[in-house]
Amino acid sequence: MENSEDRFYKFRTLFETSDNKQMHDLLFERFDNTMPSGAFGVVRHEIRNCLIYGMFQAALTLTNHYMERFLKVALINSEVSVMMTEFQLFNDQRKAAIKKFGDKNLGEILHRLMIKA
């Protein structure tokens, strides 16, 4: 079984011809020069890095964390029924929703979403 270093080396050798070098520069210019933004951007960036470097188990674990966090935020936002202009009520509803869903794991969140749908 090859390790991630071997896979990455094979991946990099695909771009050794001049035509492929230009394609590599085009593909990875944005990848190398951008910083992820937002709460979910950082995790997406890490998942992408893991997939490129062949660390599939780490990518799967990060995807689980990403999905859990995304669904928690969706559930919390669905519980808040007022606009942010009513700041105190908005904060109270948001705190109650965070308390309700904050300690749930992915399975419990998925179950809650299936009931809600």
Q: Is residue 28 part of a domain?
A: no
**Residue 57 maps to a domain:** yes
- Residue keyed to tokens 């001049």: 18
Q: What is the pLDDT of residues 47-99, one digit of tens each?
A: 888 888 788 899 999 999 898 888 888 888 888 877 777 788 888 888 888 88
Domain assignment present for residue 16? The answer is no
Instruction: For residue 107, give its domain range.
Output: 35-116
Q: Is the pTM of this model over 0.75?
A: no
Neighbours of 94 (CB within 10 A): 16
Counted domains in the chain: 1
Average pLDDT over residues 23-45: 68
**Which distant-in-sequence residues (6+ apart) come within 8 Å of 3 by Cβ?**
54
